[in-house]
Structure 1
Amino acid sequence: MLTRAERRRFVGAVLALKRRGEYDEFVRTHVDHYVADGETGLRTAHMAPSFLPWHRRYLLEFEAALRRVDDSVTVPYWDWTRDRTTTSVPWTADLLGGNGRRSDRQVTTGPFAYATGDWTIRVGVTDVEYLTRDFGHPQQPVDLPTRGELDAALADPVYDSAPWDSTSREGFRNKLEGWGSGRGSASWRAHNRVHRWVGGHMVGGASVNDPVFWLHHAFVDLQWTLWRRRHPGARYLPARPPGPAGSQEGLVVARHEPMPPWEETPGRMEDVEDVYRYV
């Protein structure tokens, strides 16, 4: 629903952060905190209860950076249950550009196309310097999540459950984050399936290289807000750090523990209506 002027200002602020080198620092932060279940050490950003508060703080950091460039800019969200085609918003030439070309998945349209000279990939897991996308992942096709699938996650009254990782079957967090089982769309639900559907750089720890990351995660953040309204008595779990009896001791952030790389806690990220609101 952004106006043409709002699109222009948002894109301009993102490109300004890229020129300053600040955008690549955001990419590096995400790569550094992309820790999977099988790895040792604290998991804060993914496959863990702190997935939602970590990315909320991350979004706020990014929006603050954008507003230092242009204080009229806020992070918009992409409702992927409504705008579901490869040519709808946000894939327009004046916002994020379109799909990658078939030969190498390189994005050649819009302000983030490599040919513009404004968007070179400098932080990633490969040496590719151009932004890539692969809508629908044709080799193993996936569809964008539906409103019904999203509503099923919102209906769960419990925030998260043991074992507090990608295998948790109960709880809103993992139903929204989207670690499933099986193949194709069944193995990627909600948030994860959108990353898979966009494809290219959006798959993996360096997904922030595609600016759609922020629009996607703003919509995910909105779902946490809606879930809190639907279940007002529910709180972030676990409330206390998992003990030695389980397998998650020292790996999961409890409600009042800090989430690296900040001193912010999940508990302080639960209620932010005095900071921002969705319209």
Structure 2
Amino acid sequence: MAYVRKDAGTLTRAEKRRFVNALLEVKRRGEYDEFVRMHIAYFSADGEHALRAAHMTPSFLPWHRRLLLDLEGALRRVDSSVTVPYWDWTRDRTTTSAPWTADLLGGNGRRSDHQVMTGPFAHREGNWTIKHGVTEGAFLTRDLGRSRNPIDLPTKSDLEWALKDPAYDVAPWDSTVTRGFRNKLEGWGTGRGSASWRNHNRVHRWVGGSMLGGASANDPVFWLHHAFVDLQWYRWQRRHRGARYLPATPPGLRDEQHNRIVARHQKLPPWDVTPHELEDVSRIYRYA
């Protein structure tokens, strides 16, 4: 029977406590840091000539869907009642709304060094030390809304702009495409600065701190953010019935993307699974 992922803003006190406790236990066991390490390892960009599986590529959505499932599996081995909640950043848009409460993810970082001082993931609580990061810092950091150069979270209309596109993705299958649902949701735009960050990417920038760069999974909000991104793929599939993951076949030998992206029936590293196999998750979970 499929389990249910809920809106973080609707969780009961007991559901918040169970989720937090399971996450802390997965961290204590050392499993959590392996997910962080994996995300860092697969954080490759357009300019790199190797295979891109996780970012700037059609497999952005199935890759993160599988990563979420693996983390969720680890949580459920601790407590079978737990699922990953999602953060609806089109609705909960302030620095004090869900999920930034003391009983869930804690709040913003302090002004001096952006260290998170409240909630269960504050370094001073002794349960959340950063072990794999892009800096030497051992504590979780946030700069919600970017105090020195403020930006806003994406809006419902920003999401609608992505959701209404009937094509999953288009050639050349990278961060430069201006058509296709995948990149409009992932959020690589044209131009420079904050105007070029859309949807998924803009949320990472808005949270700031540990959520910037390849080690972003160090902040537990990473999972709530990506659960909401995954929900958009779920919604897009239902709006555009019959639309599929693209490309269906690998780019040819003379194509600049040859061996650099994952086609629908190719294995998605590091797992033995294809994007096709991850398109329908209705037997595993659903969204409330």
Pairwise same-fold verdict (TM > 0.5): yes
**Structure 1 range deviating more: 137-146 or 259-268:** 137-146
Per the alignment, residue 257 of structure 1 pairs with 266
The one-letter amino acid paired with 1:252 is I
- Counterpart pick for 2:128 among 107, 119, 123: 119
Post-superposition CA distance 1:24-62 (Å, at most 9, x none): 001001001001111121100000000000011111111
Alignment partner of 1:5: what SS? helix
Per the alignment, residue 53 of structure 1 pairs with 62
Post-superposition CA distance 1:13-32 (Å, at most 9, x none): 00001111110001001001
The runs of at least 4 aligned residues of structure 1 exceeding 3 Å deviation read none
Per the alignment, residue 70 of structure 1 pairs with 79
Per the alignment, residue 117 of structure 2 pairs with 108
Residue 2 in 1 paired to residue 26 in 2?
no
Provide the identity percentage: 71
| CA root-mean-square deviation | 0.8
Per the alignment, residue 97 of structure 1 pairs with 106
The one-letter amino acid paired with 2:62 is P
Residue 180 in 1 paired to residue 189 in 2?
yes
Per the alignment, residue 226 of structure 1 pairs with 235
Contact 1:177 1:190 (C-alpha < 8 Å) held by counterparts:
yes
Alignment partner of 1:101: what SS? coil
Hey, what's the Cα distance between the residues in 1 that align with 2:234 and 2:73? 20
The one-letter amino acid paired with 1:148 is S
Q: Which runs of 5+ in 2 are unaligned?
A: 1-9
- State the Cα distance separating 1:245 from its structure 2 match: 2.7
Number of aligned residues: 279
- State the Cα distance separating 1:138 from its structure 2 match: 2.9
Hey, what's the Cα distance between the residues in 1 that align with 2:264 and 2:178? 20
**Structure 1 range deviating more: 175-184 or 85-94:** 175-184
Hey, what's the Cα distance between the residues in 2 that align with 1:272 and 1:207? 25
> TM-score under structure 2 normalisation?
0.96
- State the Cα distance separating 1:183 from its structure 2 match: 3.5
Hey, what's the Cα distance between the residues in 2 that align with 1:272 and 1:278? 11
> TM-score under structure 1 normalisation?
0.99
- Counterpart pick for 1:196 among 205, 209, 214: 205
Hey, what's the Cα distance between the residues in 2 that align with 1:187 and 1:75? 29
Structure of higher RCO (CA pairs closer than 8 Å, 6+ residues apart): 2
Hey, what's the Cα distance between the residues in 2 that align with 1:213 and 1:278? 18
Post-superposition CA distance 1:164-213 (Å, at most 9, x none): 01101110000000001223431110000000000001010000000000
Hey, what's the Cα distance between the residues in 1 that align with 2:76 and 2:65? 16
- Counterpart pick for 1:132 among 124, 127, 141: 141
Contact 1:141 1:184 (C-alpha < 8 Å) held by counterparts:
no
Hey, what's the Cα distance between the residues in 1 that align with 2:224 and 2:266? 28
Alignment partner of 1:277: what SS? strand
Q: Which runs of 5+ in 1 are unaligned?
A: none
- Counterpart pick for 2:279 among 253, 266, 270: 270
Hey, what's the Cα distance between the residues in 2 that align with 1:65 and 1:144? 30
- State the Cα distance separating 1:247 from its structure 2 match: 1.0
